[in-house]
A and B are shown apart, each in its own frame.
Chain A
């Protein structure tokens, strides 16, 4: 039975314990960041090879009341992951899915993807998650702390969360919890919703319209050209392999 995260943004205080715990557990180095030309608490500005998890901040006025939404962004570990599908076209086994946990994992083999192939993989992700290390070429993103999970431990971000904004467990239980929390949150926020709960292993509970959190809070349909590209790529698959072997 795969595992699932529930990220209840109605409880998130953006303390960034998760963002930091992720870096510490994975031993990721710090980026040089700046407020100059940026002016936001969201730092670093975007996901990158050194940040698998990033708390996004988004503010707007609603009937003169401030709404400040926090979105701890990370890989959704899709049930059927477009990044893996795309990657498999070029190099099977570079991106894998752990059957036990459902985690989508980028292995060392991802370094063999070309820059263009990476772009294709990234474009295929409905949540704009994959990032590439320019130096090593390795692709990176949230690992679900798969090593911890196998040992019965919570992912670092979930364990560190002070307010219970993040939960992790068996998919069935998390779906049930998500529905319960949604019912509660809806009393205050009638438009509250679960983001793509049927397709992903990281379910966000949103109290506000998805675009008021982040452009990729819910799945963005790949552009039609991409669909075409993927379709073509799929057709060309055996050829690619053969070329490689040659």
Chain B
């Protein structure tokens, strides 16, 4: 019955969905004080999506006379079923708070106050600042003389708080202006996920989805605190547990996740590869792998060239001067037709399987135990329980998040899990996969729309100076496969690229002008424009101005003392925010003199989620529409209503005055006003002329039915090919679909194919053709995802619709990879084809038990004066610090600290430490302490807890402490940025910073100034 979850009353014999009070015959007497009507009686119900983690729970805004009166979870939505966590539950007061930024505000250079301004005034002034900066500092050619058409001194950061439509728009905004320093939260939260999962399986996203976790027989939660950071995920984890699944939590701290797991295993931060490398060895030594899968669907059988080798912690091809590898040394051996050579017996000494065995032969239990601080007994406990899933009929899933991503070896942490899951045959199956628990509210969508310097929407490379033309770009970026069994899906890239450029430049993009490729900014080969390097350049005075949309880097970027000073060097900055934050108010931070800070600040009041319409994408790639419950309060606006008029004003100035490469700005197909529905349609894509596709006539400006219809001849446009099929002529906006119907087969695993829509092409479980044997029969018929039946696939949308491989007409299941196979050997990464344990950039030990190479030989760092690191095993900083979030606050806390009900639940910065360490340092629970690293000092309140355990590492005791990073000085007395301690070092593949492991010391505070006492 429809309202089962809405009401608990048994409406016996009634077919009515919901009955009114009087119909139920309930008498309100004698309850005198509580007989009033409900505040939601007669209210309009509007569907919205919670603006925090990427579980993306649906909620209902109750609206009466245009006013929000309550917000509750949507009981019909199959993922959260009406539930919400602490943050979601606080959505009502969060939205209606008067603490919000209410009007556009302006802070003049050297001023000590904010001034209220009109929208027209700020838009005009911002447009002028942007144009002047762009005209003055535009770079037409780089040092090598290549045409690059970019502006390096202007940046745009943000944001995953924006809808898909706003992300698509701001990406176009940035590239239109020529911005290359573009990045957002995804860089610092899950960029390593995309690089690692992409390398392993072909796509960079969570492979399965939230509900599917219930199908697992074994759940390894590692590098994630799912119960706290994705609270609704535990609905599905516990459902699996109810059916007998083993839930294991491997993490430095015993958390709320550990409390509900079967057991918890503490390990030292930054030693995950050692732990997982030991598991890979265990699988290979004990033949726990699922052999048919490994042979047929992974690259285990491929032969690696003779140049490949590994010695003393380094792979072949290393150049210490550039700290990079020549990856051609890791090439596969090809036959005369250019197809990789294979040995399906897996015996060839240079086949991937044998190399893997050799590589991990060093990961013995004793070395792993001594490195990680995990006892051999506990190692075996996890290894045995988890690898029992390598049978074809059992499913094991891995849930991870920032505990893996935020390391100098972040990508390789995740790659290790990819190898494990491929060996066990756990990818593509129900209850399996690697569930990258994405964080930010729309971070899957903002990543897909690529608010990142290095890619364009839909995961296409950012144009480079050495790819001088549209044709050169396509040549360099379109893979070729000669293997008839490989689908090599990226061969279609030129169609997606051409359609993107058509969407950006409209009629001005023609085949003749390479669809406007010339106007795009180009980056330099190998140059890094991400957060760490942007702020380093800002510190050095090389950045003039830019945009911070819905993010708070002055609290959430490492080495915050440096970052805060760096911001003082800007001439102007635009912040779009809900509340004043450490970023918007950096000019009057503690210790700074506003009279000496030249920066012109524009603070634009942002609309809250309930005040906005648009789509977001959850971690499981479901596209979810949220409608506007109430009009933006005060003078707030959605991001779209800021960026559309700003660019229109800039365009008007270029029209009138000319300037640097005005075509790049003026040729954009840019809307007159922000219209989320129109943009959502443009993301899906349209035909640009009358076309017959698959026998059906489509008129100009009609929606394309799927990405298969996209073409490279200018006949189609699409702001993101992955989303083609989401809004079609035939079915309209599919993100609105609320139909719970499923076939019996689909219902068994909770697929919900008719509820909303997911990319790609509504395929709910990625790589699902690896869940069947060569004849298309499921390895595990009880939890089949797809099956070849009567000449067609049933169940989920197959990952490639070709018949089974045994037919001779089939294709290998990992269709986004050039060779169609899952990558045990991953030759595309900067730091090696196999994960290898290296110590964090700051480590309490001075040797690596696995090789002579202490740190990652490729990790990235910056070298300004404040970027100091403690020496390995530095006695001044003997304690490992890890940082994290907590349920009640969101990331840097800029939003949730301003919700009094949430601040009540977690009011002040604390440091979790073991009783043993507390005793050693003479610290008592609840006392103020100083935590110091080579970069800074932070005050916190000691939380002395048995949930932190001393670890035995390299034969001695090493202490680890943990701190949240959500507190900041704009919430007086709550504490200030924990990231004043963390270092500006990053993963070599994506430059994600190492927030999770650095070295500190701790002592009792003699005086507290940041914390209320």
Contact = CB atoms under 8 A, between A and B. Distances in A.
| Chains A and B bind each other | yes
A160 B34 contact: no
A15 B86 contact: yes
B391 interface: no
A100 interface: yes
A20 to B, nearest CB: 4
Contact of B901 (A14, A23, A40): A23
Contact of A16 (B86, B907, B943): B86
Contact of B70 (A25, A61, A147, A150): A25
B995 to A, nearest CB: 21
A74 interface: no
B928 A36 contact: yes
B692 interface: no
A106 to B, nearest CB: 8
A162 B903 CA distance: 21
A70 B92 CA distance: 26
B72 A160 contact: yes
Contact of B89 (A24, A66, A152): A24
B901 to A, nearest CB: 5
Interface string A120-162: 0000000000000000000000010011101111101001111
A114 interface: no
Contact of A162 (B36, B84, B901, B927): B84
A215 interface: no
Given A24-B93, A33-B904, A35-B926, A162 B264 contact: no
A160 B74 CA distance: 10
A77 to B, nearest CB: 13
Contacts of A153: 6-8, 38
Interface stretch (A163-171, A198-206, A223-231, A232-240): A163-171
Given A37-B926, A66-B254, A150-B26, A21 B907 contact: no
Contacts of B745: none
A11 interface: yes
Interface string A12-42: 1111111111011100011111111111110
B8 A154 contact: yes
A168 B259 contact: no
A152 B86 contact: no
A25 B70 CA distance: 7
Interface string B597-629: 000000000000000000000000000000000
Given A152-B8, A159-B73, A43 B907 contact: yes
Contacts of A70: 256, 259
Interface in B64-112: 70-73, 75, 80, 82-93
A148 B6 CA distance: 11
B82 A159 contact: yes
A60 interface: yes
Contact of B86 (A17, A29, A105, A154): A17
A46 interface: no
A119 interface: no
A162 B86 contact: no
Nearest to B57: A162
Contact of B256 (A14, A24, A105): A14
Interface size class of B (residues with CB under 8 A): 35 or more
Contact of A38 (B27, B75, B904, B926): B926
A29 B900 contact: yes
Contacts of A96: 30-33
B259 A30 contact: no
B652 interface: no
Interface residues of A, number: 67
B258 A16 contact: no
Nearest to A65: B263
A152 B19 contact: yes
B863 to A, nearest CB: 37
A92 interface: no
A162 B235 CA distance: 6
B303 interface: no
Given A105-B31, A108-B33, A17 B231 contact: yes
A68 interface: yes
B238 A164 contact: yes
A191 interface: no
Contact of B1013 (A36, A61, A98, A106): A36
B865 interface: no
B258 A68 contact: yes
Interface string B926-970: 111000000000000111111100000000000000000000000
B24 A152 contact: yes
Q: Which residue of A38, A100, A160, A168 has the most chain B CB atoms within 10 A of its CB atom? A: A160
A20 B905 contact: yes
Given A36-B1011, A66-B946, A20 B86 contact: yes
B89 A34 contact: no
Contact of A17 (B28, B88, B906): B88
Nearest to A11: B238
Contacts of B41: 151
Given A13-B227, A16-B86, A33 B907 contact: yes
B528 interface: no
A160 B256 contact: no
A12 B257 CA distance: 10
Given A21-B89, A23-B901, A151-B38, A13 B259 contact: yes
A159 B85 CA distance: 11
A63 B867 CA distance: 44
A147 B70 CA distance: 15
Interface in A190-225: none
B85 A162 contact: yes
Q: Which residue of A31, A107, A156, A162 has the most chain B CB atoms within 10 A of its CB atom? A: A162
Contacts of A12: 260
Contacts of A20: 86-87, 89-90, 901-902, 905
A15 B227 contact: yes
B93 A100 contact: no
A70 B256 CA distance: 9
Interface in B872-913: 887-888, 900-910
B26 A100 contact: yes
Give the 7 A-B CB pairs with smallest separation, nearest first.
Answer: A30-B900, A107-B33, A39-B926, A20-B89, A35-B941, A35-B908, A162-B83
Given A32-B904, A36-B1013, A43-B905, 4 more contacts: A20-B901, A24-B93, A34-B907, A153-B8
Interface of B: 6-10, 18-19, 21, 24, 26-28, 30-38, 41, 70-73, 75, 80, 82-93, 227-228, 231-232, 234-235, 238, 254, 256-260, 263-264, 887-888, 900-910, 925-928, 941-947, 973, 1008, 1011-1013
Interface of A: 11-21, 23-25, 29-41, 43-44, 59-61, 65-66, 68-70, 93, 96, 98-100, 103, 105-109, 143, 146-148, 150-154, 156, 159-164, 168-170
7 contacts: A15-B86, A15-B234, A16-B888, A36-B928, A36-B941, A59-B946, A159-B72
